[in-house]
Amino acid sequence: MVFLTMVVGGVTRLTHSGLSIVEWKPLIGALPPLTHADWLELFAKYQQTPEFIQRNHDMTLDGFQFIFWWEWAHRLLGRSIGLVFFVPYAWFLLRGRLRGALAARVFGFFILGGLQGAMGWYMVKSGLVDDPRVSQYRLAAHLGLAFVLFGLMAWTGLGMLQPRNADSTVAPAPTLTRRLGNWLVALVFIMVLSGALVAGIRAGLAYNTFPLMNGHFVPPEIFMVEPLWLNFFTNMATVQFDHRMIAWLLMGLIPWYSWRIWKETPEARTPAVVLTLWLAVQVGLGIATLLLQVPVALAAAHQAGAMVLFGLLLWTNHAIRRA
């Protein structure tokens, strides 16, 4: 459900639907408009936003309904996760199946989920003021928190489904391989954040060539913004260049990581191979998204693919520790 919510959130952003609901009502907001009068009331509120005034002033009620349903579905999924989580959590807790540190850790997921909802509204609010575009910083924080939540849940689940074998005769993976795995997790997470910046400032609509950026490996306008550090967050050339460079780095490091695992840890060969194959798929999705100027389906698949890559990397790291 966390994965699905992230995918729907990506489509919401790509279809410019995220600013269609101008209020945050965690409970009442779960109900959609039920009458024509309700639709007119919500549309009237949207008509007062900068997005409608500056960009969508000719939008009809039908057009508003299209963007509304995407944002409503994204919020409903987020709310549903809380319910689907809390009822079984309370049941297992009362029956004594969840205890101690595990119970506290799993409850932490519930807290993070609530913070994620608040972060989502904080992000939307940034686009309801003068400039009808959400802050790329808040977008990165919202997406990054989703990956943190997904990663913690996945790692905990792997630990329960595949506990470490204390009696295993297989030698543990060398320190270098384990450290490399840790650094790759951090690097993929940084790439996710850089992807959020690309989406936030719509840098994917610029430099739609590969492998060069409009004929240059390093575009000449990469440091045109003052002060220098601001280029890494607001300059389309710099933000897209950084995203590409991290991709190139991963294309070298992940196959090397998998090769080391293949030699040293036979028990982890399967996730390592799947990880390497999926990296090729993810890079292909990214290149296609760029060359075709960010079609919704491809861009959503590329964002979903990032979470798949992140999950596969966690699975691989867990497998070498389990050995």
The answer to whether residue 143 sits within a structural domain is no
pLDDT at 227: 94
Q: Cα(6)–Cα(301) distance, rounded to whole angstroms?
A: 11
Q: Does residue 184 surpass a pLDDT of 90?
A: yes
Q: Report residue 164 as tokens.
A: 């470490």
Q: Are residues 189 and 314 in the same domain?
A: yes
The answer to whether residue 72 sits within a structural domain is yes
**What's the domain count of the chain?**
2
The answer to whether residue 305 sits within a structural domain is yes
Q: Are residues 232 and 103 in the same domain?
A: no
Q: Are residues 81 and 171 in the same domain?
A: no
pLDDT at 174: 65
Q: Report residue 4 as tokens.
A: 């699905």
Contact residues for 208 (Cβ-Cβ < 8 A; gap 6+):
290, 291, 292, 293
Residue 213's φ and ψ, nearest 5 degrees, are -105, 95
Q: Are residues 182 and 124 in the same domain?
A: no
Q: Are residues 118 and 166 in the same domain?
A: no
pLDDT at 152: 96
Identify whether the C-beta of residue 203 lies closer than 8 Å to the C-beta of residue 232. no
The answer to whether residue 151 sits within a structural domain is no
Q: Are residues 76 and 9 in the same domain?
A: yes
Query: Average per-residue pLDDT in the chain?
Result: 92
Q: Does residue 166 surpass a pLDDT of 80?
A: no
Contact residues for 240 (Cβ-Cβ < 8 A; gap 6+):
198, 203, 204, 206, 207, 213
Backbone region of residue 171 per phi and psi (left: phi > 0; alpha: psi in -120 to 50; beta: other values): beta
pLDDT tens-digit series, residues 1-41: 999 999 999 999 999 999 999 988 877 778 899 999 999 99
Q: Does residue 252 surpass a pLDDT of 90?
A: yes
The answer to whether residue 271 sits within a structural domain is yes
Q: Cα(69)–Cα(63) distance, rounded to whole angstroms?
A: 10
Q: Are residues 188 and 311 in the same domain?
A: yes
Q: Report residue 197 as tokens.
A: 């910046």
Three-class SS state of 226: coil
| Greatest CA separation for the chain | 70
Q: Are residues 114 and 171 in the same domain?
A: no
What residues pair up with 213 in beta bridges, in sequence order? 216
pLDDT at 165: 64
Which of 81, 82, 115, 88 lies closest to 103, judged by CA?
A: 88
The answer to whether residue 82 sits within a structural domain is yes
pLDDT tens-digit series, residues 149-163: 999 999 999 998 887
Residue recorded with tokens 């519930």: 110
pLDDT at 171: 55
pLDDT at 322: 83
Q: Are residues 300 and 173 in the same domain?
A: yes
pLDDT at 85: 93
pLDDT at 17: 93
Give me the domain span that covers residue 246: 162-323
Q: Are residues 118 and 181 in the same domain?
A: no
Mean pLDDT value of segment 267-273: 95
pLDDT tens-digit series, residues 89-130: 999 999 999 999 999 999 999 999 999 999 999 999 999 988
Q: Are residues 205 and 123 in the same domain?
A: no
Mean pLDDT value of segment 246-263: 96
Contact residues for 110 (Cβ-Cβ < 8 A; gap 6+):
82, 85, 86, 89
Q: Are residues 185 and 308 in the same domain?
A: yes
Angle between helical axes of 296-322 and 2-14 (0-180°, round to 10): 150
Which of 192, 185, 172, 158 lies closest to 254, judged by CA?
A: 185
Q: Does residue 221 surpass a pLDDT of 80?
A: yes
Identify whether the C-beta of residue 147 lies closer than 8 Å to the C-beta of residue 303. no
pLDDT at 175: 82
Query: Among 110, 131, 152, which residue terminates a domain?
Result: 131
The answer to whether residue 147 sits within a structural domain is no
Identify whether the C-beta of residue 127 lies closer than 8 Å to the C-beta of residue 133. yes
The answer to whether residue 148 sits within a structural domain is no
Amino acid letter, residue 148 = V
163 burial type by CB count under 10 A (0-12 exposed, 13-18 middle, 19+ buried): exposed
Q: Does residue 214 surpass a pLDDT of 70?
A: yes
Q: Cα(226)–Cα(305) distance, rounded to whole angstroms?
A: 34
Q: Which parts of the chain fold into alpha helices (H)?
A: 2-14, 36-46, 50-54, 61-94, 100-125, 136-161, 175-200, 231-234, 236-264, 269-291, 296-322
